[in-house]
Structure 1
Amino acid sequence: MILDRLGRYWSKTDVTIYGLKQAPRQWYTTFTNHLITTGFQHSKADPSLLIYRRQDTQIFLLVYVDDILITGNNEAAISDLLNKLNSQFTMKHLGIARHFLGISIQSTKDTYFLSQHAYALSLLQQTNLVKCNSLSNPSVTKEPSHFQPDNTIPDATMYRRITGGLQYLTITRPDIAHSINTLSQHMHDPAPIHLYLLKRLLRYIKGTINFGLPITKSSLDLRTFSDADWAGDPITRKSTSGFCTFLGDNLVSWTVKKQTTVSRSSTESEYIALAAATVDTIWLKRLIADFNIPHDRPISVYCDNTSVIALANNSVFHARTKHIEIDQRFICDHIQHKTISVLPINTVDQIADIFTKSLPTLRFKQLRSKLTIREETSVRGEMLEHN
């Protein structure tokens, strides 16, 4: 979400915290307890977010170990806070946030662009793929029966290191979330086909290394898209859940997860995904309330399964739906309390489809665009035109 001012501050107190297992937690406790004495309160939705409110002054502080983002509507109050913190802790003021936890933040008026160009480049350098030929799709709809193995990713250790690194890249690149989810399921014993798919993914990243997430000024309405790929895993026959949430035009949350149990029907798998999406959406509603963004209307949750929508809006149980009764009751309760509203959507327009399965290139690019993932240069041009 858009903030009026972003500042990043790095604490250098007790550098030895990195050598002790419990030290980061002790540092967090010490720092946040001091903030509470100055008038801050923990967010009920996120313990890493602390909020200060006095009359018309509001300050929001996000802490991750010794990296801190701070913003607010009163420059004088922020300066006074920094002076108080400097009297207790040794801190370095890095000014308006340009980088935070490996994420590049580019900003103009009312617009931000988040990317991890340098981080993605480091992963390509580790695998000697900086000069490789790029691909336009990170996955394949049909695995090849014959492929030429190479030594780009020579062993399981390299596979695990690169796949683990790519998981962090999904913070600004949700378009690769499904591919990463698939590769992460074989970390213990990757087969040659998984090494091949990992190289494909890296070649896709090479061609889209400047892509990221824009955050623009828009409405503040939440809307969620939920989908599931029933029995998509050919070995375990477990389904994959995928959902994403927009705040206005901005993508703010997304999840890809293999379901823990085998679903007996497509309706059950969709219900499991819908229940998980509902939980995440409710949490986001609580989080934005901390930023004084009330959401009194039911949150629209879009699903392309007509059976799920019918059952969600008509809580009638019988033998064929007993096995999904818990999820059904959970969703029906939130519909009755007007927390959410489950609405139909055409499969063609279902954005969450990109999280649940491998797609043809044309379809993949269409959904990637709807996720608002764009190249840095194109976003910058739109910014200049808007200004």
Structure 2
Amino acid sequence: MARYKARLVAKGFNQRPGIDFTETYSPVVKSVTVRLILMFAVTNGWPLHQLDVNNAFLQGSLTDDVYMEQPTGFVDPSVPHHVCKLQKAIYGLRQAPRAWFTELHTFLQASGFFNSKCDASLFIRRQSGQSLYLLVYVDDIIVTGSSLSQVHDFITALAHRFSLKDLGPLSFFLGVEATRSANGLFLSQHKYIRDLLTKTDMLEANTVSTPLSLSDSLRLVDLSAPADATKYRQVVGSLQYLSLTCPDVSFAVNKLSQFMHRPTTVHWNAVKRLLRYLKGDPDDRRSTTAFVVFYGSTPISWSSKKQHTIARSTTEAEYRAIASSAAELNWIGHLLSELQIRVTTTPVIYCDNVGATYVCANPIFHSRMKHVAIDFFFVRDQVARQQLRISHVHTNDQLADSLTKPLSRRQFTDHRSKIGILDGSSILRGHNRSSEIK
């Protein structure tokens, strides 16, 4: 039997910033943190439980005075012109997500948890030699820890404080299917992709072997007719969410995102091509930074983004990519430290540009590289302190290249066999505790 919900929703669009509300942002856990915690849990054989908080936005307390008109159909006839003063947050209020997170944060602190400094949505508790980790994405929560009894005790305590559903072992969260086996934890967005294809009427379309055309290039001005901008933004926004498990579409999605403000028919056709690729499961001359971060044999972070400035040489462009990779590696290192995971080997960044590799340890700046001196100090200092190692790798072995060009399906299959990535899915495996970037 279908279940229908009805709830009172405030007209939050009438609220004015600085007058009716101030802070509204509610932190959500980073995808890298999710992959890292899941990998750590799988490696150690820890339980993974998922929880869903019922009516989360109704459980937050308001710190501001908020008034609203009496809802239609429920006006008190004796005082029809009176307004209601809200005691608790309700759906529609701009500050409702923030109020819910604050309420949960307060409870977790009282229960012995502390916030990760690297990710505000990761909560950590260590008691009696046991560790407990909590990942929060609005009202979706993942719990794992070294003690099954502590996991169950915490879920019971949380259920006494908030109304929630214990969904049992991790199986489906944030649109990602999770299947545990002897080989690891298999993550897939197959259902998400199928729903997106259905929504865009592309479920019966013919498949293609590459996410973008290998011969045609996309330009801001192509003289074709304008496309439906609203629909374009909705679909490209949905495609961005696939970066959770699909590094092979990272470059294509990044490219399509550059035309959000004025999409044309050519751009929309490129979106449909990417959808067809998923079904089979240079205007400004700026370079693209791409990297894949491995923890042992497991890829935990990947990125493909256009650089902010124009590089004067391939060496400069590659070096900027090294600097971005080093920054991501630093952040992951701090997160591992908070999790008390000790990395016993020096992290390695593999780069396929000889010049960029050499300049990381060369104290002499080239005259054309003066404007990136800060980045040089950032990487060179880490290399000098032996906190980071830069190593040259042949272009054919550079796995990050799979994010920066539209590979054929066969080419990407060769890459994915090395990094454990499947179309629309990824698998988190056990590992020996080493760390490297490719």
Q: TM-score, normalised by structure 1?
A: 0.85
Give 1:179's aligned residue.
252
Match of 1:79, as an amino acid?
Answer: H
Q: Is the 8 A contact 1:297 1:338 kept in 2?
A: no
Structure 2 residue 255 is matched with structure 1 residue 207: no
Which of 411, 417, 421 does residue 373 from structure 1 map onto? 421
Residues 54 and 165 in structure 2, CA contact (< 8 A), matched pair in contact too: yes
Aligned equivalent of 1:101: 174
CA positional deviation for 1:161: 1.1
Deviation at 1:182, TM superposition (A): 0.6
Which of 273, 279, 296 matches 2:321? 273
Please tell me whether residue 8 in structure 1 is matched to residue 50 in structure 2: yes
| Alignment map for 1:288-367 (pairs within 5 Å) | 288-360=336-408, 362-367=410-415
Q: What's 2:136 paired with?
A: 63
Deviations 1:82-123 (A, max 9, x none): 222222211211100111111100111351110111111111
Q: Which amino acid aligns with 1:34?
A: F
Report the CA distance between 1:360 and its aligned residue: 4.8
1:308-354, CA deviations, whole angstroms, 9 ceiling, x for partnerless residues? 11111122124233122111111001111222100000000001112
- Deviation string for 1:170-210 (max 9, x for gaps)? 211111111101111011111222122111111110011xx
In structure 1, give the amino acid aligned to 2:392: P
Kindly indicate whether the alpha-carbon contact (under 8 Å) linking 1:61 and 1:69 is maintained by their aligned counterparts in 2: yes
**Moved runs in structure 1, 4+ residues, more than 6 A?**
376-379
Q: Aligned to 1:313, what secondary structure does the other structure show?
A: coil
**d(CA) in 2 for partners of 1:266 and 1:154?**
35
Give, in whole Å, the separation in 2 of the partners of 1:86 and 1:360: 49
Q: Is the 8 A contact 1:315 1:328 kept in 2?
A: no
Q: Which has the higher contact order (CA 8 A, sep 6+)?
A: 2
Whether the 8 Å CA contact 1:2–1:111 is kept in 2: the answer is no
1: CA distance between counterparts of 2:413 and 2:380? 35
Q: Does the CA contact (< 8 Å) of 1:134 and 1:203 recur in 2? A: yes
Q: What runs of 5+ residues in structure 1 fail to find an aligned partner? A: 146-150, 209-232, 383-387
Aligned-partner Cα distance in 2 for 1:375–1:241:
22
Report how far residue 79 of structure 1 moved. 2.0
AA matched with 1:339: Q
> Structure 1's 36 and 15: CA in aligned 2 closer, same or farther, altered over 3 A?
closer
Q: Deviations over 1:277-312 (max 9, x none)?
A: 100011112222333321143201000111111111
CA distance in 2, matches of 1:144, 1:342: 33
Which of 1 and 2 has greater Rg?
2
For residues 170 and 339 of structure 1, do their structure 2 counterparts lie closer, same or farther at Cα, with a shift above 3 Å needed? same
Amino acid corresponding to residue 315 of structure 1 in structure 2: P
- Partners of 2:237 and 2:418 lie apart in 1 by 27
- Deviation of 1:132 after TM superposition, in Å, equals 1.4
Between Structure 1 and Structure 2, how many residues are aligned? Answer: 350
Q: For each residue in 1:33-80, what CA deviation from the matched residue of structure 2 results, as whole angstroms up to 9, or x when unmatched?
A: 211111111112211111110122111111111111001111222222
Q: Does the aligned pair in 1 maintain the 2:123–2:133 contact within 8 Å?
A: yes
Q: In terms of mean alpha carbon deviation, does 340-349 or 72-81 score higher?
A: 72-81
- Do residues 42 (structure 1) and 115 (structure 2) align? yes
Following the alignment from structure 2 to structure 1, what is the Cα–Cα distance between the partners of residues 341 and 278? Answer: 35
Residue 378 of structure 1, CA deviation = 12
- For 2:415 and 2:109, locate their aligned partners in 1 and report how far apart those are by CA, in whole Å: 44
Q: Which residue of 2 aligns with 1:257?
A: 305
Give the Cα–Cα distance (whole angstroms) in 1 for the partners of residues 387 and 400 of structure 2. 21
TM-superposed deviation, 1:236: 0.6
Question: Does the 8 Å CA contact 2:189/2:425 hold for their aligned counterparts?
Answer: no
Secondary structure at the aligned position of 1:50 is classed as strand
Aligned-partner Cα distance in 1 for 2:127–2:412: 48
Equivalent position of 2:64 in the other structure: none
CA distance in 1, matches of 2:193, 2:410: 24
Going from structure 1 to structure 2, the CA distance change for 1:272 and 1:100 (only over 3 Å counts) comes to same
Q: Is the 8 A contact 1:137 1:364 kept in 2?
A: no
CA distance in 1, matches of 2:394, 2:417: 17
Partner of 1:246: 294
Cα distance in structure 2, aligned partners of 1:249 and 1:25: 37
CA gap of 1:26–1:143, structure 2 versus 1, over 3 A, is same
Q: 1:312 and 1:360 mapped to 2: Cα distance?
A: 33
Q: Hey, what's the Cα distance between the residues in 1 that align with 2:396 and 2:383?
A: 25
- Equivalent pair of 1:297/1:339 in contact (CA under 8 Å): no
SS at match of 2:254: helix
The RMSD of aligned alpha carbons is: 2.4
Residues in 2 aligned to 1:76 and 1:109: alpha-carbon distance in whole angstroms: 23
How far apart in 2 are the matches of 1:182 and 1:337?
Answer: 37
Identity %: 38
What secondary structure sits across from 1:295 in the alignment?
Answer: coil
Does the aligned pair in 1 maintain the 2:246–2:426 contact within 8 Å?
Answer: no
| Matched residue type, 2:359 | L
The Cα of 1:14 is off from its aligned counterpart by 4.8
